[in-house]
Amino acid sequence: MGGTFSISERRRLRRGELGARHQRVPEVAILGAHKIVDRPVVKNGQIVIAPMMNTVIGFDHRVIDGEMAVKFPRRVRAAREAPELLWFYA
């Protein structure tokens, strides 16, 4: 209660649309994370099976610039893929 940012699981809303769950007012942003599943991906020119997780961010445009909101999930992804990089963000 009283937070300005939430992390929540994602749920299916309708026909392929995924959204964040439990949006609370006056949240400035909410990061939704879906479950990790094995999917085919291309790594080093080869198709391999890798664990993948989709994320989505919803934010209040009156408070957060769109460019900043797009960069945040990218940094979360980089930190999840290479946690040793967190030393550089501190």
Domain parsing of the chain, residue ranges: 5-89
- Give percent of the chain with pLDDT exceeding 90: 17
CA distances, 85 to each of 13, 74, 77 (Å): 34, 13, 11
pLDDT digits (tens, 9 = 90+) for 28-46: 888 888 888 999 999 999 9
Active-site positions read 61, 65
Residues 6+ apart with CB under 8 A from 79: 85, 86, 89
Q: Read off the tokens for 22.
A: 């439990």
Mean pLDDT of 19-36: 69
pLDDT band at 87, cuts 50/70/90?
confident
CATH of domain 5-89: 3.30.559.10
In the Cβ-directed half-sphere of 68, how many Cα atoms lie within 13 Å?
9
- Contact at 8 Å (CB) between 29 and 57? yes
